[in-house]
Amino acid sequence: MGAHSHGTQVTPTDYDRATQSHYDFLGSFLGSSDKAKDAIFYSYTKHINGFAATLEEEVASKLSQHPKVVSVFLNRRSKLQTTRSWGFLGLENNGEVRASSLWNKARFGEDTIIGNLDTGVWPESKSFSDDKMGPILAKWRGICQNDSDHTFHCNRKLIGARYFNKGYVSAGGPLINSPRDKEGHGTHTLSTAGGNFVSGANIFGFGNGTAKGGSPRARVAAYKVCWPIGGCYDADMLAAFDVAIHDGVDVLSVSIAHDPIPLHEDSIAIGSFHAVRNGIVVVCAAGNSGPYAGTVGNVAPWQIAAAASTIDRQFPSYVILGNNTRFKGESLSDTSLLSKKKLFPLISARNAKAANAKAEDAELCIDRSLDPKIVKGKILVCLRGGIARVEKGVQAALAGAAGMVLANDRDSGNQISADAHVLPATHINYKDGLALFSYINSTMSPLARITNPTMKLGTKPAPVVAAFSSQGPNTITPEILKPDITAPGVSIIAAYTEAQGPAESDFDKRRVKFNSISGTSMSCPHIAGVVGLLKTLHPNWSPAAIKSAIMTTASTWDNTWKPIKDASDLQATPFSYGGGHVQPNRAMDPGLVYDLSTNDYLDFLCALGYNQTQIRLFSNNPYTCPSTPISLVNFNYPSITVPSLNGTITVTRKVKNVGTSSGIYYASVHCPPGVSVQIQPKTLKFESVEEEKVFKVVIQANKKKQGGKTGYVFGKLAWCDGEHYGEDILIAVITRDGLRPPSIRRLKFEFVLKMRTKEMAQKKAQDLDVGENEGGSGKKQQQLEKKKKKKKKKKKKKKKKKKKKKKKKPC
């Protein structure tokens, strides 16, 4: 997907010419332009140069071999992945916005335009009221696409809405011509990013307060690319990116993710590239495939990938057993058990399976797996997983359950969510779930009751990384840290559609104006909202500078002043939270930023193996790949990731002064265990704003084994001038004794070997040998390890005598 060479004064004729060029090009393969017109259902004419078409596999294969084609890929489907969270992030304190708040400094994101690729929008929501909004900006070129839905209206707040469904329809979906959101997801995410102030926002009376987005005075636009059941298709998303860039958005929030795939086959990465090239910041969901390693999506360096974590608010609801044991859960159920003190029979869903159902399906409370005769009148215990949490409640209610307890599986650990179930229900953690099942299995007539939810603020610890949040390392380019940042994404209350109930089922006849949802889909618009504020405050900052400011000022500590933990109560790592938990007020003044230009991103693509012709198609500006490809560890990212450290490596970074006109910054390093780090120089002196300085980081493995069971160790680098203290997370990923996940290097090779030039491909054998050594399976590596073991035995006795307890110190 290349770029168009339109001039500065673009006319409709230019767009028509681009479309005709697509017809002519495809027509040369199909036999005529008329056949091409029938096949093409999207012609991307504004910024992205490409098209979407229905083709035979043979034709697609021939297209992919053409020298002017960057990539050909299937129209894949991707998945969608508040009243308290902004206070938790420090933008307000008990409703008071202080003078030092980024909200105040950035005028609440005034006149920044935030676009949202999602399920559309419910325009009637008060979150999109244009109260106190001035005239629409002259730069806006978008439309309100309500040609088939005359009840849909935009205003000075919701300034645009479009729908893109041709990819969905081509895959067999029904034709729906409206940007109206009937699923709630897009309304929730867009209002989180840029919703207006709405007092008295709550769900069934819970979480009552003033709802607002991160940039409450921003203008917003909805791009509907995700459809019921069908999901979000590549062709539709690319069309939306192309049009959104043309419309004039400043920020794009994309709460969509898929499994990690090579960048040239990734529609979100391609669309994001063209957006960033035009100065638009793109924030994406990191994915909901955690807690497994290497699952993080949206890994392109020009995207901001947001992980999800908790806030300091809970909605406690207890399970009280017949023996008076209490388990604390969370819930937003609006119904109560008939008697608050009456005990009900308690049964595990596995023991209530229907005759022809699988026990594994029954324990997950999957549709038609439960026997109503067994379930009726009892409190049913469902195991987490398989289907949505609220859907389990629906299935329990359909089977006649009096209530439901949702118990976490091992992977979900302590991470629980407050959901608006259709029956009395609560959600408990893994440890309590084990105890509950033990009680059921050891008691003749197990009994229980569920208490009504309440609300508790200031809970600790928070944040905690959500169990579902996708994890690093980056399996496509391990040198780039992903995710980039974490933000609130658990039990987030925001605007919702009135076309369906909060349980997302026809069974649920309730309607709400606000709903509680969890996911990296929720953390993504939190970051987009912060980006909107930074765009207003610093309109000349590049997308990379804004990203750097957010990452380098983030916190890795929770509200108990201890390192952030994950859902299993273990210390989380940068592979869980990236730079850390976002701190908006600090992000407005980072002092230094790690900046990147379009050419830097093109250099990055060259290093991955794209040839000169393919690179030119990404940008219409003159560009030539460096004669020697850059080392990816030297890509000027606001973090340092070394995928395989054997011996010593020197990494280069460049910082730009965006703080005071002059200043001296001093380096401070906390070394990764078993690794020494030296900064050269240790002091950076700036004489003016925008001045740039280069420094080097010398990283050396000084022990035989680093990283323990995982193979990874982490440290921090910070530059401090007394006023600014930005932490640049330093990561040394050590690969010893086969500790590296094999998929990382394998996936990278699969991509690089496809795209590299012939000269670079000749190095394949050498690269593969390195891979063997990294995994500890090469012969030379085995011989070295044997020698090391002998030396280790000799020194062991001496070490025992000298061994003393030492405190960790900075390098």
Active-site residue numbers? 118, 185, 521
Is the CB of residue 619 less than 8 Å from the CB of residue 628?
A: no
Helices (H) and strands (E) in the chain, counts: 23, 38
Is the CB of residue 784 less than 8 Å from the CB of residue 792?
A: no
Query: Which residues, 6 or more positions from 542, have their beta carbon under 8 angstroms from its beta carbon?
Result: 279, 595, 596, 597
Closest CA to 161 of 251, 235, 95, 225: 225
Is the CB of residue 414 less than 8 Å from the CB of residue 567?
A: yes
Query: Which residues, 6 or more positions from 489, have their beta carbon under 8 angstroms from its beta carbon?
Result: 306, 307, 308, 309, 466, 469, 518, 519, 520, 521, 522, 523, 526
Query: At 47, which amino acid appears?
Result: H
- When computed from its CA atoms, the radius of gyration of the chain, rounded to whole angstroms, is 27
Closest CA to 518 of 737, 330, 776: 330
Is the CB of residue 390 less than 8 Å from the CB of residue 501?
A: no
What span, in angstroms and rounded, lies between the C-alpha atoms of 306 and 290? Answer: 13
Is the CB of residue 114 less than 8 Å from the CB of residue 249?
A: yes
What span, in angstroms and rounded, lies between the C-alpha atoms of 144 and 257? Answer: 26
- In this structure, how many other beta carbons lie within 10 angstroms of the beta carbon of residue 777? 11
Is the CB of residue 810 less than 8 Å from the CB of residue 675?
A: no
DSSP state of 672: P
Closest CA to 141 of 36, 12, 30: 12
For Cα atoms 677, 678, 679, give the angle at the middle one, nearest 5 degrees. 125
Closest CA to 660 of 723, 710, 702: 723
What span, in angstroms and rounded, lies between the C-alpha atoms of 787 and 792? Answer: 9
What span, in angstroms and rounded, lies between the C-alpha atoms of 349 and 396? Answer: 9
